[in-house]
Structure 1
Amino acid sequence: MGSRPSFIDDLARAPSPSDGPQANEGALDQDDALLDAYSRTVIHALGRVRQAVVFVSVERALPGDPRRHGGSGSGFLFTPDGYLLTNSHVVHGASAIHVTLADGSTHAASLVGDDPSTDLAVLRIGSAEPLPHVELGESSKLRVGQIAIAVGNPLGLAQTVTTGVVSALGRSLRSASGRMIYDVIQTDAALNPGNSGGPLVNSAGQVVGVNTAIIPGAQSICFATAIDTAKWVIMQLFAHGRVRRAYIGVAGTAVPIARKAQRYFALDIASGVRVMELVKGSPAALGGLRVDDTIVAIDGTAVDGVDALQRVLDASTIDRTVDITVLRTTQKLTLQVTPVEPAAARST
């Protein structure tokens, strides 16, 4: 009889489940040594965020319907005193909100504010002890191809982890309110119903996005609101309880500026915002902006993309005349525009 295969000896040396945890320690050490760099990176990143990821459940009362309607999603704590971020569509219109932490405890949550235009909401829960919380990264530093890790509660399966890469940057996504969400991250880290509001994490364990949407029927085409956008929304909600935005009545997209034009007009930015649509009678139209103008500055502050445009047009510019610098064919013009706050925003 020939010698028996070597894998039989390996199986014979493997610890039995009945040997207890101490017998498994040696095997676990061997497994750790065999982990490749990718696995170690994902495990390390998860170790920094997983305890801060929560399950969000809501109740809604519909007009004329005595029944309570439930819903759920994900979220994550970003401060030790109980503030957490989730999607607006998860909690908007809820009559009761509850948050279940990674340790299994459930807490009633209050709504600090929500912004359907970016599909973001801030909640708060009470706790006598500091809570585990994430570190917010910088989505502006992301590169296509980077590792992307999604954590959440798809279909009620708590603490589910999926991985992939950043598939694209600078996407646009229409929110439930009809407003475009700009600077959206596309990833192939699989998302399912219930992942909404959970964190998208980079290899360092920093949150770089808030998982928001998928394309139904597609394979792993998923989207997250950039964390840089979320930081701005958080500050607005803390300050005002809502996001105050100045409205000028343009729809635009980021476009590159030719190097020759950069030098000629002494610009220190490589891109601007081209006006694609102009609302008739809007502040921008009244101020003389035209379709195909490229906005490069507002009150001297450079505007190199739509996200920058939205940030410059904050609450401080409402009802205050600002200088908008545009490139129009071979000219650099400065136009005066008076932004307003949309009536719908004022009534909320």
Structure 2
Amino acid sequence: MGKRPSFIDDLARASASGAGASQHTGIDDDALLDAYSRTVIGALERVQQSVAHIAVERRAASPASHGASGGSGSGFLFTPDGYLLTNSHVVHGATQLRVTLADGSTHTADLVGDDPSTDLAVLRIGANETLPHAQLGESAGLRVGQIAIAVGSPLGLAQTVTTGVVSALGRSLRSNSGRMIYDVIQTDAALNPGNSGGPLVNSAGQVIGVNTAIIPGAQAICFATAIDSAKWVITQLFAHGRVRRAYIGIAGTTVPVARKVQRYFDLPSTSGVRVMEVVKGSPAALGGVRVDDTVVTIDGVAVDGIDALQRLLDASRIDREVEIGVIRLTQRLNLRVKPVEQTG
């Protein structure tokens, strides 16, 4: 056998030296992690115990089918007494819901209510102890480019974590019910089947969105319902078991309002809602709202985006005439519209 190359001996000595240093010099393993890794690990430690796997059973699709169909998704505890937030499409039509928590315990869950229009649902599990729960953050102040961390149970693989950034804000996404979900967060944190309903969190471990969808065939284009929208839905589901909304019949998107326009018309905000579609025969159409109008107020209250518009069109405005302030070309108009209750 020939002489062993000297670099092999050098590597062996370096390896032994390194191992000895870590054992005898007391180097903290955390010091070997870069700042990004420490941030992600810290955020995960704050939220991971609240994340749950949800197993779903549904009735057979047709009499010819045998047994029951199933599915699964993710969710997360947001109160210490057993309330979970997840996606409507995960639990809608379920006959039985089983929730497995991070500690491995399994619980039967009841559906408090779901809202297909935002693809959100609230579940409740019985708990005899205080449960670890996620802290709900805010989505209003999000910035494109900030860290986004998705946690869930894709394909039944519990506590799976993916990371990325907030790619875009104020997106619109068509839900399974066919309605548009507004003020959606776009992220490149990878989602897979089963991630639906899990939390999207910021670098502080606060929930900023509820993971909801991917675009099949696309790469790094994933979506989450903004947590500010989710908070409002939660209060509605607690109060009514469903979300009662006033309907005026427009589709729109959040847009900035030029500073000079804001000053000239003395507007309360630097953004509004550009009308992209007006449903024929709808209250908005009957009230004179047109495509390309920018909605800036409802009854004098600022409408600075789609999320604000949805919150203002609550049950209190059903069948009651409201004044909608719009900017149309060079005019400020106040239009009278009578919302009806949203159905379906």
TM-score, structure 1 length as denominator? 0.92
Aligned twin of 1:44: 42
The aligned runs of 1:139-154 (5 Å cut-off) are 139-154=139-154
Change in 2 beyond 3 A, CA 1:241/1:272 = same
Secondary structure of the residue aligned to 2:149 is: strand
After superposition, where does 1:23-42 map in structure 2 within 5 Å?
Answer: 29-42=27-40
Q: Superposition pairs for residues 35-74 of structure 1, below 5 Å? A: 35-62=33-60, 63-64=62-63, 65-74=65-74
Q: Could you tell me which residue of structure 2 aligns to residue 109 of structure 1? A: 109
Counterpart code for 2:309: L
- Give the count of matched residue pairs: 338
Structure 1 equivalent of residue 84 of structure 2: 84
What whole-Å deviation, never above 9, does each CA across 1:78-130 have from its counterpart, x for those lacking one? 00000000111110000000000011000000000011111111000011000
In the alignment, is residue 255 of structure 1 matched against residue 279 of structure 2?
no
Aligned-partner residue type, residue 323 of structure 1: E
Compared CA separation, residues 285 and 11, structure 1 to 2 (3 A): same
For 2:11, the equivalent position in structure 1 comes to 7
Conservation of the 8 A alpha-carbon contact between 2:138 and 2:227: yes
Deviation at 1:29, TM superposition (A): 4.7
Q: Does the Cα contact within 8 Å between 2:170 and 2:253 map onto a contact in 1?
A: no
- Cα separation, partners in 2 of 1:27 and 1:101, compared to 1, 3 Å: farther
Residue aligned with 1:191, SS? coil
SS at match of 1:135: coil
Q: Which position in structure 1 is the counterpart of 2:274?
A: 274
SS of alignment partner, residue 341 of structure 2 = coil
CA distance, structure 1, for counterparts of residue 167 and residue 7 of structure 2: 51
Compared CA separation, residues 174 and 3, structure 1 to 2 (3 A): closer
The DSSP-based 3-state class of the residue aligned with 1:178 is coil
Q: Secondary structure at the match of 2:89?
A: helix
Mapping of 1:115-130 within 5 angstroms? Answer: 115-130=115-130
Structure 1 gap segments, 5+ residues each: 17-23
Once the 2 structures are TM-superposed, how far is the Cα of residue 25 of structure 1 from its aligned partner?
7.3
- Cα deviation for residue 26 of structure 1 reads 6.6
- CA-to-aligned-CA distance 1:213-265 (integer Å, 9 cap, x gap): 11112222111111111111111101110011100111122222222221111
In the alignment, the residues of structure 2 paired with residue 269 and residue 28 of structure 1 have an alpha-carbon distance, to the nearest angstrom, of 56
Change over 3 Å in CA distance of 1:211–1:343 after alignment to 2: closer
SS in 2 for 1:228: helix
The answer to whether structure 1 residue 245 and structure 2 residue 224 are counterparts is no
Q: Aligned partners of 1:283 and 1:289: how far apart in 2?
A: 9
2:216 match: secondary structure: coil
Which residues of 2 match residues 202-221 of structure 1 at below 5 A? 202-221=202-221
- The residue number in structure 1 matching 2:341 is 341
What CA RMSD, in Å, does the superposition of the two structures yield over aligned residues? 2.0
1:316-343 C-alpha deviation (Å, 9 max, x unpaired): 1111111111112222121211111034
Alignment-mate amino acid for residue 44 of structure 2: L
CA distance in 2, matches of 1:242, 1:55: 23
- Measured in 2, the distance between the counterparts of 1:173 and 1:25 equals 53
Structure 1: distance between partners of 2:148 and 2:253: 26
CA distances 1:181-230 after superposition (whole Å, capped 9, x unpaired): 11111111111111110111110000111111111122221111111111
Deviates more, 1:101-110 or 1:157-166: 157-166
How far did 1:4 drift? Answer: 6.4
Q: SS of 1:284's equivalent? A: helix
Which residue pairs with 1:167 in the alignment? 167
C-alpha distance in 2 between matches for 1:56 and 1:137: 23
TM superposition shift of 1:281: 1.7
Change in CA separation of 1:26 and 1:229 when aligned onto 2, cut-off 3 Å? farther
Give the alignment of 1:286-301 within 5 angstroms: 286-301=286-301
Tell me the percent identity.
74
Q: Which residue of 2 aligns with 1:19?
A: none
CA 1:3–1:108 in 2, change beyond 3 Å: closer, same or farther?
Answer: closer
Q: Which residue identity lines up with residue 297 of structure 2 in the other structure?
A: A
Q: Structure 2 unaligned runs (5+)?
A: none
Residue of structure 1 equivalent to 2:187: 187
Deviation, structure 1 residue 36: 0.6
The alignment partner of 1:165 has SS state of strand
